[in-house]
Structure 1
Amino acid sequence: MHDSRRIEHAAAEWLARRDRGDWSARDERAFEDWLEASTRHRVEFLRVQAAWREAGRLQALAAGLPGGTVPPRGAWTIGALVPATYVRAARARATQPARRWRYALAAGFALVATGSALWLGWQLGGRSEADYASMLGQVQAVTLADGSNVVLSSNSRLHVRMTRGERDVELLEGEAYFDVAHDAGRPFVVSSGGRRATAVGTRFSVRSDAQDVRVVVTEGKVRFDAPPGADGRATPVSLLPAGSVATAGRNGVFVRSLPVAEAERYLEWRSGFLTFDDTSLANAAAEFNRFNTRKLELADAAIGDLRVGGNFRWANVDSFVKLLEMGFPVRAERLPNRTVLHAR
């Protein structure tokens, strides 16, 4: 089982056992040991406990389940076991001002028009160029002229140029996940920040920040390098197999080799989640800010070093902030357009 899923399920089991009525002192000691073992355990338990309480106790809604039984992830549905917070969030999204939907609709029409132009250019001359973009808080899936599939993360931009001999993609901003159509005669090259990730047929992501470029490979192999310098000298090349997480910055390229399931955790934004593992609060806040107009700000530098862990919906910043207030020495100041976090 995926590590974050395992911790989530364990937290739910502890909560269900405590609610069952036969909780003993021995159980309490085991539970405290589990909480102390990892910050991720404590954060995940607080998250599950908050959802349980706001749902009016999931056990009461789970008619027909034996006492202490935890339904598997993915089995919760509206009217049965979905937490009330998610129901309210869904209703709130459904009643957003019409202007937001007009923006999304306009973006969708622009995307269709761009894709149609790309396809027509390809059919007429074997050459096509197109630009793709996603809005803040939007995850956008597109299909390129060669059949490759791309998922754009929030606030991301791509420029795509294809001929019968080349497939070149420039990531101008943000992050994108590529499921590349196999074509041994035309390597698929993604460039960003002076770096290139080259594949023939594979699955990988590229992310561009102010100073770094990160590549995560989940299938196949990717060649990661930079163009020759002004003096013509070649730059070091990294060949990244599945499970690799490579970060290129001022000090060179740092590569981590992980099980593929662990590497996939970096890409959970595609399904609406952010996963943190002993992550500083400063970095966690920055991740939430990539997806939301309402920003998290840290008023005190000291709390930026607090370590957090767990699996969170990037669209639900309020729940994350509530968990910080419950489990950490943090106080939240909620302003109209941002939330400011203070040391408590």
Structure 2
Amino acid sequence: MAFENDTSASAADEATEWLIRVRENPENDEVRDAFNAWIFASAENRREWEKTCQAWRAVGVARTSRSRVASGQRGRTNSHGAKSKIATAFATAGLALCLIAFAGPSMLIRMQADYQTGTGQTRSVDLADGSRVILGPDSALLLAFSDSRRGVVLLKGQAFFDIARDENKPFEVDGGGLTIAVLGTGFDLDLGENRSVVALAHGSIEASSLSGQRVLAPGDVLTLDRHTGGISEAKVDVADIGAWREGRLAVVNQPIGAVIAEIQRYHPAWISVPDQSLADQKVTGIYDLKAPDEALGALVDPYGGKVRKISAYLRIVSRF
């Protein structure tokens, strides 16, 4: 057990060092290649990388809150002035570094991705082993092939995977806290803001996270809450899995806010949902992604919601 803790501590330190190196060398191919080698070396490295970015982001949020309090005390004491300046600089640097991982499309994703799509775009990627990946809008994919390994990382967005069978070399997909091991199968992986969803169309897959492992059968949908680590499972019609490839968004018992995040990938305007109670409302339905404004209306109208077009670049969705 002590050995495992030491390994985790080492990975955490390395993740922090890589965050700094990537920030300082955004266009350096050698840094990119070395970072990719490190992050693919183990699932522990990938977990510590996500935790490190989340921690930096939290430092920035905490600093914003503290600054309001500090402003009211300014002039009373300067006893900790030097330390405060150092802490502020440290937090500011941390927040800037974290933006590499969270801003989209981020510098980090641009450095890592082998394939990307923009708003409303899809892309078919044929892999060297005969597998095919269809990238959804606003998505990014990184290849991780070697002589002994077949694999990819979904860095952001959504993709449908049709994996060629090779019993001697299983295929592995990483993304959003999930690792999916397959032989030959078809499945959809969707990385939302706070959740990761995998749905199996045909074949069999094993999905694993820090919460454990699950083996999925066709029609199974597994959702990972990345904040709590909680896992939920559901059943859907196989025909609805990956329906976005045909311009349809099939939703089963999902919050309106999460569905709007899906539609956002197809909409050129920024969509704001200030009404949290509306965003939390669970819905089930099928929506037309070829007409995102109409899809928004169909989504929220039954619950008293309205879509207000403020400009070509902004939509506000609320009950008021």
Describe the shift of the 1:243–1:330 C-alpha distance in structure 2 as closer, same or farther (beyond 3 A).
closer
Is this contact kept in 2: 1:180–1:202, CA < 8 A? yes
The residue aligned with 2:290 is: 315
User: What is the correspondence of 1:200-279 to structure 2 with a 5 Å cutoff?
Assistant: 200-226=183-209, 236-248=212-224, 249-252=226-229, 254-258=231-235, 262-279=237-254
Alignment of 1:193 with 2:170, yes or no, is: no
Is this contact kept in 2: 1:302–1:343, CA < 8 A? no
SS of equivalent residue, structure 1 residue 163? coil
Rg comparison, structure with higher value = 1
- What amino acid is the match of 2:314? R
- What amino acid is the match of 1:338? L
User: What is the correspondence of 1:276-287 to structure 2 with a 5 Å cutoff?
Assistant: 276-287=251-262
Q: Which of the numbers 104, 118, 125 marks the counterpart of 1:142?
A: 125
The residue aligned with 2:156 is: 173
Is this contact kept in 1: 2:188–2:241, CA < 8 A? no
Higher RCO (CA < 8 A, seq sep 6+):
1
CA drift of 1:171 comes to: 1.1
Alpha-carbon separation, structure 1, partners of 2:300 and 2:198: 34
CA drift of 1:305 comes to: 4.2
Alpha-carbon separation, structure 2, partners of 1:197 and 1:296: 31
CA drift of 1:293 comes to: 1.8
Alpha-carbon separation, structure 1, partners of 2:302 and 2:161: 37
Alpha-carbon separation, structure 1, partners of 2:193 and 2:284: 24
SS of equivalent residue, structure 1 residue 162? coil
Structure 1 length-normalised TM: 0.53
The residue aligned with 2:314 is: 338
Task: String of CA shifts for 1:193-247, please: whole Å, max 9, x gaps.
Answer: 34310101111122223433221111111122248xxxxxxx7322222222112
Alpha-carbon separation, structure 1, partners of 2:141 and 2:299: 35
The residue aligned with 2:270 is: 295
Q: Flag structure 2 segments of 5+ consecutive residues without an equivalent.
A: 1-111
The residue aligned with 1:163 is: 146
Alpha-carbon separation, structure 2, partners of 1:194 and 1:170: 11
CA drift of 1:314 comes to: 1.5
Describe the shift of the 1:238–1:342 C-alpha distance in structure 2 as closer, same or farther (beyond 3 A).
closer
Alpha-carbon separation, structure 2, partners of 1:164 and 1:222: 22
Describe the shift of the 1:136–1:184 C-alpha distance in structure 2 as closer, same or farther (beyond 3 A).
same
Structure 2 length-normalised TM: 0.57
Q: Flag structure 1 segments of 5+ consecutive residues without an equivalent.
A: 1-128, 228-234
Alpha-carbon separation, structure 2, partners of 1:253 and 1:307: 18
Alpha-carbon separation, structure 2, partners of 1:213 and 1:341: 24
Is this contact kept in 2: 1:130–1:161, CA < 8 A? no
Describe the shift of the 1:208–1:321 C-alpha distance in structure 2 as closer, same or farther (beyond 3 A).
closer
